Every structure is written in structure tokens, then in C-alpha cells.
Amino acid sequence: MTNTMTDARLIALIEAWGADANAFPETERAAAKSLLAEAPDRFADELQAARDMDMLLGGLPAVTPSPALTAALMDTAPKARPQRRSWLAAIPHWPTVGAFASLAIGLAIGLGTAQSGTTAATEDAVDTLVYAALGFDVINYSQETAQ
């Protein structure tokens, strides 16, 4: 994998990791070193500022908290709540069971209310109406007006 290093990315690395290129992330270290070797004067100001910051931070004493402070911090840290399980969580696959139950109820109701059959008179009246609506036949409206 070849990384191309830009000036802005190298400056960001210097500001984040300091002046030592060996401290940069491994994936970008080689590309950063080659860009620094190629144009050292271009990054002189950033490197000097990073060296100054490294000197300031390097002169600070290492801080090790006392065991009493560590224990006090651990005691005041928020505790994890115990997980409560509801009775619904004990039912496996609740949505799947519900979907199949609603499907079964719908089929039972639909099959129970289905018509037993159509009569010939009803079928003829429907056919006549459909043909008239499509313009294939003429309906005799005089029967409707007489009723």
C-alpha cells in the first residue's frame, strides 16, 4: 500500500506526534520520512515548534496517583446497572409467531365468509353491465326506469 504524503498531512502529524518521525503511525511513517528528507527547510518552523513542545513536556515529572486516590476514584465511578429481563424476552421469536398467527386468522376469516357460488342470473347481469361499460352492447334502460 503506497501512501502519498501531503504537506498539510505532514504538518498535522508533526503537531500531533511531535518532531520525532519515529513516533508517527506506522502506516504513514515511511512517507513522512521521505517528505521530510526531500524538503527539510519547508517544515523547519513546525519541527522547531514541536521540538520546543517536546522539551517542555519531557521536563515534567511523571505523575503517579496514590493508592488511596485510585481507590477513591474507583469507588465514586458510576456502577453498571444490572440488566433486567422482561417476560417478553423469554418468549422466543415473538414477531414471527405474531405474523403467522395473524396470517392464520386472516385465512380462516376469509375462507369462512367466502360466497358459496354465483348464480347464473347474477353472472349474466354482471356480464351485460361490463359489456355495456366497454361499449360492446346496448343496455335496455327502460327496465330500470319502469321499476
3-state helix vs strand vs coil in the chain, percent to 5? 65, 0, 35
Q: Provide mean pLDDT across the span 101-116.
A: 78
Query: Whose CA is closest to 24, among 82, 15, 37, 68?
Result: 15
Tens digits of per-residue pLDDT, 52-99?
Answer: 888 888 777 778 889 999 999 999 988 887 777 776 666 666 677 788
Is residue 17 within 8 A of residue 33, CB to CB? The reply is: no
Q: How many CB atoms lie within 10 A of CB 23?
A: 13
Task: Provide φ and ψ at 143, rounded to 5°.
Answer: -65, -40
Query: What pTM does this model have?
Result: 0.41
What are the domain boundaries of the chain? Answer: 7-58, 118-147
3-class secondary structure, 60: coil
pLDDT in tens, 22-59: 989 999 999 999 999 988 888 999 999 999 888 888 77
As given in the structure block, the three cell numbers for residue 75 are: 469507588
35 vs 146, higher pLDDT:
35
pLDDT at position 114:
64
Residue in the structure block whose three cell numbers are 469507588: 75
Residue 119 has pLDDT above 60, yes or no: yes
